[in-house]
Structures are given as C-alpha cells and as structure tokens.
C-alpha cells in the first residue's frame, strides 16, 4: 500500500505588512513626471499607485485595461487606483483583491497627494485604522521640491514647509532649468537643511531618484529584513545640524540663537522657518517604561498637532537588552515595536523630532522630568505625575 503524500504545510500566522509610501510636493513640483518615470521600472511591478484624481495625472500611455471601477491595470504590472471616495475603502479593496486571489501579489502601495495637501492626514488614515495598521506599514514620505520656484513656495505656503519637514526623501526637480545649478541651489538646499536635516536629498535630473532610494526608508532593510536603526533614525544628521545636539549625560546643550554656529547658509532664514524645529535627544540611561509612557501621552495629547514627526529607539529599564522602537506623526503613534536586540550596537536612547511651534527646550525638560534626569529648579517626575498638565508650562512659542 502506497503511503499517502505528506501534507504541504501552508504558511501560518499573519502576513507581513505591505510597505506604504506617500509622494507629496507642492503644485507644479513634478509628481506626475516622477510617477510616469518610476512606473516604467521593473522594480515597481506588483505596486499599487493611489492618486487623488485620475484625470489630473498623465498616466494614460501606461494603461492597458480597466480592471474594475476606479482600478486600472498598467503595463508595468502595477495597478492605478483613483480615490473616488474614502482612502480607507481603496486600501481595503486592495487587500480584498489580494486575499481572494484577484491580485497575485501586492509588494508596495504608493499614495500620491494633491499639491496643496498636508501629508499628515493621509498617514493618520493608516495609523488610526486598526485593520489597516496591521496590514500596511509606513515605509517613506517622499516630497518633491521645485528647484526653480522652491524658495518662493516655502516662503508663501505653510503646506509646502510641512511637506518638506515630514519627508524621509526630498527630491529636487526641474534643476535643469537653472542657469547655474550648483550656485542657484545653495539657498534652497540650506533652507531644506534647516527644515529637515535628516532627509536624504535626491536630484531627479541627475538620475539618482531611483525606486530603491525613494522608497526603501523604513526601519527594516528590504534585502535582509533586519532592522537598520541607524539608517532609519539618521540621528547624526541632527547632531551636525547647526549644533542641535543634546546629550543628557555629558551636560552638552543646544546653543541658543545668539551663538555663532558653523552655518554655511549665507542667506536670511525666512521667519516662518523658525516655527519648525528639527532636533534629537539622547541619553545613556535606561528609561522606566511608565515614565516613557507618561512622557509620550502628555506630548501627544497636549501638543500633538505641533509634533510633526517623531522617531525613537529607547532603552527600557525593565528590559534593557531589548530596545523599543517608536514612530509617531502628530498625535498618532504606531504601536511600539520591541526588537530582540540592539542591531547597531549603540544602546543609547535616541529620539529625533520635527516640531512646529514646539521648542526643543520644552520637549527636553518634559522628557527629563519623566525619565528621572535631575534638573535644577524643575519639578521631578513625581510632581509631573501628580499634576502634569498644570506644570507642562507651554502656552505657545516664545
């Protein structure tokens, strides 16, 4: 009698979350041109591109078939979805297609925003939805900046400044229209350095805005699936940015605005940029889990709209060998991720912030108060616990 064939084990457990990226940029920055180019790259096969209004985006020459209402199959192997109603519905529909076999694979989702959009609400759509949060993970925010009109746009439009501030990748476009690219870009690049020192800058006209450099900006290395904390945080960029570095254990502090930094900007910083601050906090001390929770709760509940973006890796006192990774956009935070070890060998707690009308000094004092860092003439952690809102002490920019 022939023995029955052994059963084939099917993969068990939840499917790995699908990387999700957002492409933003002010009106006329070149999002359509970038999309047309990257959708021809074989690396974006099995990608879904979600755009706000299909009629406004010139992808027609890439279309091959109407798959269903609001979804078009592209010759690159991608899908192009229009948002006719709710973004949640569109994202859920993609998951249904994947789960019921109508899609063989969904390797990545790219959302293109309108030029006037603040990207934060789109990020919140995924991060606030319990099911979408399990199935998608934020990979990168890509912001396009017009090399010709970028300075004027940043001067005039708050949305453009916020788009630049929250980006993981800043893509310079239309630089071929400049008379002297290297010289003409100096003030714009310096401006972006102040708004967002940690973002990688790419130049579309030079061909370095490739698919892998645009989108592979998440915590996990796409090739090894191992967390790359140093690359994800890019805290060194904050440390070298105009002296904005503070280490709680060596006593060094961020210098005030009157200090002579090693600026190479050679231009007048627009007064609006002073509202957006990029900085890092770090400490060698392990942090009690309860203190970290209280710090984050107060920060996002009382000052969430001013917290444009935050990334952190934290050494927890109760389990110092397993760091916790935190990622937030305004008042919305991903569930913390506990790593099995310190992948980069650096066991310091490192927090990077981009804020709007929220001073670095205030955030640092709040952090110190909840993490048992002694400060002269400041309430200790117990006082903060007893009445945190009463002594938070922040009413607006000074």
More confident residue, 114 or 197: 197
> pLDDT tens-digit profile of 223-268?
777 788 888 888 888 765 544 433 444 333 333 333 333 333 334 4
DSSP 277-288: EEEEEEESS-B-
From 90-99, 192-201, 378-387, the region with the lowest mean pLDDT: 378-387
CA 18 to chain centre: 16
Q: Locate 218 and state its tokens.
A: 């998440």
Which residue from 93, 136, 44 is spatially nearest to 81, judged by alpha carbons? 93
Q: Give the confidence band of 296 by pLDDT, cuts at 50, 70, 90.
A: very high
Q: Give the β-pairing of 47-51 and 79-82.
A: parallel
More confident residue, 394 or 295: 295
**What is the pLDDT averaged over residues 138-154?**
93
Q: Locate 270 and state its tokens.
A: 């627009």
> pLDDT tens-digit profile of 313-338?
999 999 999 999 999 998 888 888 89
Q: Give the confidence band of 343 by pLDDT, cuts at 50, 70, 90.
A: confident
Q: Locate 67 and state its tokens.
A: 């798959």
Q: Locate 190 and state its tokens.
A: 């310096």
More confident residue, 286 or 6: 286
**What is the pLDDT averaged over residues 203-213?**
90
Q: Locate 361 and state its tokens.
A: 């000094």
- Number of separate helices (H) and strands (E) present in the chain: 15, 15
More confident residue, 12 or 350: 350
In angstroms, rounded to a whole number, what is the distance separating the alpha carbons of residues 66 and 70? 8
Q: Locate 176 and state its tokens.
A: 């071929």
pLDDT at 6 > cutoff 80: no
The pLDDT score that the predictor gives to residue 268 is 44
Which residue from 191, 146, 193, 149 is spatially nearest to 173, judged by alpha carbons? 146
Q: Locate 152 and state its tokens.
A: 């004027």
The pLDDT score that the predictor gives to residue 168 is 93
Which residue from 233, 195, 387 is spatially nearest to 325, judged by alpha carbons? 233
> pLDDT tens-digit profile of 75-102?
666 777 766 558 888 899 899 989 998 8
* CB-based contact 59:39 (threshold 8 Å): yes
pLDDT at 65 > cutoff 80: no
* CB-based contact 292:371 (threshold 8 Å): yes
Percent of the chain predicted with pLDDT > 90: 35
Instruction: Please name the residue ranges forming H helices in 304-387.
Output: 360-370, 381-386
In angstroms, rounded to a whole number, what is the distance separating the alpha carbons of residues 108 and 63? 19
Q: Locate 289 and state its tokens.
A: 């889990």
pLDDT at 128 > cutoff 90: no
> pLDDT tens-digit profile of 14-54?
678 899 999 999 988 988 888 888 888 888 888 888 886 54
The pLDDT score that the predictor gives to residue 10 is 47
**What is the pLDDT averaged over residues 140-153?**
94
The DSSP output letter for 173 is E
In angstroms, rounded to a whole number, what is the distance separating the alpha carbons of residues 159 and 323? 34
**What is the pLDDT averaged over residues 269-280?**
73
In angstroms, rounded to a whole number, what is the distance separating the alpha carbons of residues 272 and 195? 10
358 exposure class (CB count in 10 Å sphere: 0-12, 13-18, 19+): buried
- What domains, with CATH codes, occur in the chain? 18-215 (3.40.50.300), 230-253+271-391 (3.30.1220.10)
Percent of the chain predicted with pLDDT > 70: 73
More confident residue, 273 or 18: 18
pLDDT at 5 > cutoff 90: no
Q: 261: number of CA atoms within 13 Å, CB side?
A: 17
C-alpha to C-alpha distances, 105 to 47, 48, 240, 254, nearest whole angstrom: 8, 10, 42, 48
């Amino acid at each position: 009698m022939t023995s029955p064939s052994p059963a084939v084990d099917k993969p068990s457990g939840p499917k790995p979350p699908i990387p999700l990226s957002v492409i933003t940029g002010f009106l006329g920055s070149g999002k359509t041109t970038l999309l047309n180019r990257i959708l021809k790259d074989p690396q974006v096969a099995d990608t879904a591109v979600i755009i706000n209004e299909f009629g406004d985006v010139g992808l027609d020459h890439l279309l091959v078939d109407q798959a269903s209402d609001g979804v078009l199959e592209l010759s690159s192997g991608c899908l192009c979805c229009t948002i006719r109603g709710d973004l949640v519905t569109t994202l859920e529909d993609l998951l249904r297609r994947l789960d019921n076999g109508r899609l063989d694979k969904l390797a990545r989702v790219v959302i293109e925003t309108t030029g006037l959009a603040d990207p934060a609400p789109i990020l919140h759509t995924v991060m606030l939805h319990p099911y979408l949060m399990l199935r998608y993970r934020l990979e990168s925010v890509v912001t396009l900046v017009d090399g010709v009109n970028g300075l004027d746009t940043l001067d005039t439009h708050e949305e453009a400044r916020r788009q630049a501030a929250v980006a993981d990748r800043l893509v310079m476009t239309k630089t071929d229209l400049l008379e002297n690219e290297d010289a003409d870009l100096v003030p714009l690049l310096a401006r972006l350095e102040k708004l967002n020192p940690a973002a990688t800058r790419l130049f579309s006209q030079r061909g370095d805005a490739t698919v892998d450099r645009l989108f592979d900006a998440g915590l996990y290395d796409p090739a090894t699936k191992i967390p790359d904390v140093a690359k994800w945080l890019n805290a060194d960029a904050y440390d070298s940015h105009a002296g904005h570095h503070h280490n709680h254990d060596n006593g060094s502090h961020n210098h005030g605005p009157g200090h002579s930094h090693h600026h190479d900007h050679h231009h007048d910083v627009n007064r609006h940029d002073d509202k957006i601050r990029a900085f890092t906090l770090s400490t060698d001390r392990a942090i009690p889990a309860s203190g970290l929770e209280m710090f984050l709760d107060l920060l996002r509940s009382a000052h969430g709209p001013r917290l444009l973006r935050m990334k952190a890796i934290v050494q927890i006192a109760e389990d110092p060998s397993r760091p916790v990774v935190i990622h937030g956009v305004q008042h919305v935070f991903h569930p913390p991720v506990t790593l099995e070890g310190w992948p980069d060998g650096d066991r310091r707690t490192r927090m990077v912030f981009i804020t709007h009308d929220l001073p670095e000094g205030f955030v640092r004092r709040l952090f110190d108060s909840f993490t048992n860092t002694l400060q002269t003439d400041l309430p200790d952690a117990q006082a903060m616990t007893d009445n945190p809102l009463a002594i938070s002490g922040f009413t607006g920019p000074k």
